[in-house]
Structure 1
Amino acid sequence: MDYYNGHEDFLDRIEKLNAIGIALSSQRNAPALLEMILQGAKSILNADGGTLYLASEDKQHLIFEIIINDSLEIMMGGTTGVSIPFDPLPLYDREGKPNNNMVAAYAAINHKTINIPDAYVAEGFDFSGTRAFDRKTGYRSQSFITVPMQNHESELIGVLQLINAKDPRTGAIIPFSEQSRSLAESLASQAAIALSNNRLIQEFRQLFESFIELMAEAIDVKSPYNGKHCRRVPDLTMMIAEAVCKANYGIFKDFSMTEEELYELKIAGLLHDCGKVTTPVHVIDKATKLQTIFDRIHLIDTRFEVLKRDAEIEFLNQKLAALESGNPQNVPSLEAKFQQKIQQLNSDRTFLQKCNIGGEFMRDDLKERVLQIAKYEWVDTEGKLSPFLNENEVYNLNISRGTLTPEERQIINDHIVVTINMLTKLPYPKNLRRVPEYAGGHHERMDGKGYPKGLTREQMSVPARMMGIADIFEALSSDDRPYKDAKTLTECLQILGKMKQENHIDPDLFDLFVNEKVYLRYAEKYLHEYQIDQVDLTKIPGYTPPAV
């Protein structure tokens, strides 16, 4: 008598099937999903063991994914971390003929459920491997049910196989009933849908991430002086997020982020500078104050050579006149005056070359010297007497900090507005809706003096504040900026510390960044050895160690 013919028991198994179906639809972790499928099938069919196979990408093999046997206490694959030592089952031989001898292969090839009451007396299938396994373990493999898993397009996803149905009252091994067959096929169908959906989600995520990384790479490749920024900032942001989530002190004691929230932050990090696709290359790459398509300091060097040539011609003419007029005693003073002028021109040229490089600050007396040099006159290529420096050259050479004019700096700053505008137009799924906010906030300041929205600390999320620190630290430590040398860890932290004191960056995140040595983890991965110096935390301005 089939125990499972009981009406109440059948309803109970239907309820289990529905519960498993609901659980399958919400599970996103692939190994856990596979375990849930096999464990659910074992429970519904009251089987002693089972195997779940997945079809290879080329649909030529069945790959062992999970093996479970309660009596032998075997559990391999899935989330266990225990590898399965069996080779994939071939679905076809070398000549392309179907492998109908193996029951799992037969079910897969023919899209047919196979229900075998006793493998030892079954005909048409090769169970020699099963018998060998039984001899080795002392087990008795008896009833089998093997169900192909197919998606809505009848494409093979895998095979679900259960072994040794048990009578729940006596524990005796019995055949799988027709009801069991029906339930197994129903579960296999649900499992195929769940696996297909999971695979589609993973493939979509991979496509999405690949597209995002492609955009980040395009931005980095656009500028040889900014070639690592879009990849390093998200990595450092995630290091900070990990440290914050692990912190068991201060305001972050109870702070946490889910796997989906961390993924959202990662995507935001990859997209944080996407607006730079619209920024002109000559602005991004402006390595010196006079650079446009080329560095105009070379034109100024040529003008100095013209002035030196004219000075030499004037000196030679004066020397010749002195000799012809019988006043050779005037020659030494003329030569001294000439050498003095050449020396002054060489000094002025060196000075302008240094001004052109840019720096942290240019004093007013240096700016005045630029204005004085600008008053020199030279005969240009058209034979006209012109000022030595034009207004644009003076304007650029007298830039106070860095190499960008206020107008060029505004162009650079506008990239974040473009970033926000680009990102807010995308139809995000629910788990990515904060990407624009995270990506668009990395130039804001805690005191509201940042851009583009002038947000204060209270108006910003913690992840957005994390990215702000990551963006600054990467820029300070980078060795590919045209306007500065790569700084050591001490120099980077000292600058960040001053930014904390000036209410530029989040004070608590900065302290955690230093205390948890996030900077060192990043340095060991990305920085040069000469940059990784011994940091004396007592000399980092603004740093406050956590209270013990």
Structure 2
Amino acid sequence: MAQVELDKDIFWRLIEISTALSSERNTARLFEKILDAAQDFTGADGGTLYLLKEKHNKQVLEFEILRNNSLNLTLGGTSGRPIPFAPLPLYRDDGTPNHNNIATHTALTRKMENIADAYCAKHLDFSGTKAFDARANYRSQSFLTVPLCNHADEVIGVLQLVNARDAQTGQTISFSPQIEPIVAALASSAAIALENQILLQDHKNLLDAFVQVIAQAIDAKSSHTSAHCQRVPALTELIAKAACATQEGPLKDFDLDESDWYELRVASWLHDCGKLATPDYLLDKATKLHLLHDGIDTVKARFAALMAQTETAYVKKMLAMPLAQAELAQELAQTLEALAQDCAFIEIANKGGEFMSPEAKARIHAIAEQYWQDTKGQRQPLLTPEEVSFLCIERGTISFDERQKINDHMTVTIQMLESLPFPKNLKRVPEYAGGHHEKMDGTGFPKGLRREQMSWPARMMAIADIFEALTASERPYKPAMKISQALSILQRMRNQNHIDGDLYHLFLEAKVWYTYAKTFLKPEQLDVEDYQPYL
């Protein structure tokens, strides 16, 4: 009867442990739970958990956690203390299987090994164990080593227990054969839990790789916005960390757990994925006249033609009017100089800038009223109506219609992300990523959302996107903006209710701008010490 009760006890403990293992999401804690349970069942003084991995095209058993109660030693797992031992290769350099080591032998044979005394084992090499014992003043005696096999009967790791202890005397004894089925059952549960965790991590790694490949592809479309999709996630994370750390104000209760952080990172990496559908010439538009190529060369060729035609016309006049040659030569020089200045002015206007005055626009319209003759002798305007429209762009190099095409990337971003079957823990990725061009007063795009309709992370990403764009040094139409200018623009946007005021205040108070600048910006851009004027 006592044996039956004992068996029931063990059965329910195995169920309890299996449930605990299956619910654990932290890999390091899972390793510890497996080893805890194994030592508890067997009374082992120490133990090691190995995982089978591939390193440099070779299969090895890598130490994940090592524990010894007598030595008060815990390495790996959540201890924060690395295991200094090299992985154990399953095969030697010549390709032969490594059956000398008990852990690799167990992995290769897929069979449990129960060794009463390691020092007396003739078929296995315990030289490493003996060397450890000598250094630690310890005596490793009994070993119980179990393969961890997945549902396909593939070894994914090895569980090794050392020195079973007598419950009454505390003396080292052999591992009882009666405990082997229990340890085998525990190993099976542990293997299932480990495989689930490994598969979960593999899928996560695959998703991370896809996400970063997409971000790199977007950045690669234009050298002028290169690294934008990599820097925005870093800045968003800095803002979120500051929000989690604050103990006052509207954000005092804001917090992110491990799953929330992952969701935010995925969203920030994908925030511009819709730009994959944006024409390359728009993303790479360095000048106002740049379409598939920079149209300034065509305009300059027209100026050259007009200057040559003007010179020819004056030469003919000089030949026809010898007495007026000096006057005509001076008039020619003045006309050519005026054309050269107009051409230089067009070149400058083509580069874009922060603001174009009404006077500059009027000059472009005046230049457009001049004509030259093409190869067929027909009069053509020096600037076409389309070129005049582009050259009169007030800020930057993008026209209103082109800006609308670029803005469409947000609609495409949301469509792309909402079409993906994100799991529950990533359901908010489309909302986070799709809101970084919205404004707190509802005048943003693509949905015209107001502040209260947006989550904190979406509002954080909006500030990160703006600040990165302002301070980026790769934009051809403007020099790298200094922190003082960028903060002044953000302050104005806060005053106009375009960005979240509470987050802007946190951005300043927590010196997120400073931390970001020290890592990602040029030293000469960091020209602010006191942020008080920008509050």
The answer, yes or no, to whether TM exceeds 0.5 is: yes
Compare 447-456 and 233-242 and name the one that shifted more. Answer: 233-242
Q: Does 1:529 align with 2:526?
A: no
Q: Does 1:371 align with 2:365?
A: yes
Secondary structure of the equivalent of 1:164? Answer: strand
Whole-Å separation in 1 of the counterparts to 2:59 and 2:388: 72
Q: 1:177-326 to 2 correspondence within 5 Å?
A: 177-323=176-322
Q: 1:343-422 to 2 correspondence within 5 Å?
A: 343-422=337-416
Q: Taking structure 1 as reference, are residues 390 and 250 closer, same or farther at Cα in structure 2, changes over 3 Å only?
A: same
Secondary structure of the equivalent of 1:250? Answer: coil
Q: State the one-letter code of the partner of 2:152.
A: E
Decide whether the 8 Å contact of 1:449 with 1:455 is kept in 2: yes
Indicate the residue corresponding to 2:41 in structure 1. 44
Q: 1:465 aligns with which of 436, 439, 459?
A: 459
Q: How many residues align?
A: 533
- CA drift at 1:478: 0.8
Whole-Å separation in 2 of the counterparts to 1:53 and 1:415: 47
Indicate the residue corresponding to 1:546 in structure 2. none
* TM-score relative to the length of structure 1: 0.91
Secondary structure of the equivalent of 1:210? Answer: helix
Structure 2 residue runs of 5 or longer lacking an equivalent are none
- CA drift at 1:215: 1.1
Secondary structure of the equivalent of 2:250? Answer: helix
Whole-Å separation in 2 of the counterparts to 1:21 and 1:239: 39
Decide whether the 8 Å contact of 1:114 with 1:146 is kept in 2: yes
Whole-Å separation in 2 of the counterparts to 1:17 and 1:223: 58
- CA drift at 1:284: 1.4
- CA drift at 1:69: 1.8
Q: Taking structure 1 as reference, are residues 351 and 63 closer, same or farther at Cα in structure 2, changes over 3 Å only?
A: closer
Decide whether the 8 Å contact of 2:221 with 2:284 is kept in 1: no
Q: State the one-letter code of the partner of 1:275.
A: G
- CA drift at 1:51: 1.9
Whole-Å separation in 2 of the counterparts to 1:95 and 1:339: 85
Whole-Å separation in 2 of the counterparts to 1:494 and 1:116: 73
Decide whether the 8 Å contact of 2:52 with 2:155 is kept in 1: yes
Structure 1 residue runs of 5 or longer lacking an equivalent are 544-548
- CA drift at 1:290: 1.3
Decide whether the 8 Å contact of 1:272 with 1:440 is kept in 2: yes
Secondary structure of the equivalent of 1:269? Answer: helix
- CA drift at 1:53: 2.3
- CA drift at 1:410: 0.5
Decide whether the 8 Å contact of 1:37 with 1:191 is kept in 2: yes
Whole-Å separation in 1 of the counterparts to 2:302 and 2:119: 99
Whole-Å separation in 1 of the counterparts to 2:404 and 2:99: 71
Whole-Å separation in 1 of the counterparts to 2:125 and 2:381: 97
Q: Taking structure 1 as reference, are residues 173 and 7 closer, same or farther at Cα in structure 2, changes over 3 Å only?
A: farther
Q: Does 1:432 align with 2:426?
A: yes
Indicate the residue corresponding to 1:151 in structure 2. 150
Q: Taking structure 1 as reference, are residues 320 and 467 closer, same or farther at Cα in structure 2, changes over 3 Å only?
A: same
Decide whether the 8 Å contact of 2:50 with 2:62 is kept in 1: yes
Indicate the residue corresponding to 1:109 in structure 2. 108
Q: State the one-letter code of the partner of 1:246.
A: A
Whole-Å separation in 2 of the counterparts to 1:381 and 1:335: 26
Q: State the one-letter code of the partner of 2:61.
A: L
Q: Quote the RMSD (CA, aligned, Å).
A: 2.4
Q: Does 1:160 align with 2:123?
A: no
Indicate the residue corresponding to 1:502 in structure 2. 496
Q: State the one-letter code of the partner of 2:109.
A: N
Compare 172-181 and 447-456 and name the one that shifted more. Answer: 172-181
Cα-to-partner distance string for 1:12-44 (whole Å, 9 max, x where unaligned): 333332222222222233222211111111112
Q: State the one-letter code of the partner of 2:7.
A: F
Q: 2:328 aligns with which of 331, 334, 338?
A: 334
Cα-to-partner distance string for 1:468-488 (whole Å, 9 max, x where unaligned): 111111111111113222111
State, as a whole percentage, how many aligned pairs show the same letter: 49
Decide whether the 8 Å contact of 2:221 with 2:283 is kept in 1: no
Cα-to-partner distance string for 1:446-489 (whole Å, 9 max, x where unaligned): 11000000001100001011111111111111111132221111
- CA drift at 1:390: 1.7
- CA drift at 1:422: 0.6
Decide whether the 8 Å contact of 1:59 with 1:156 is kept in 2: no
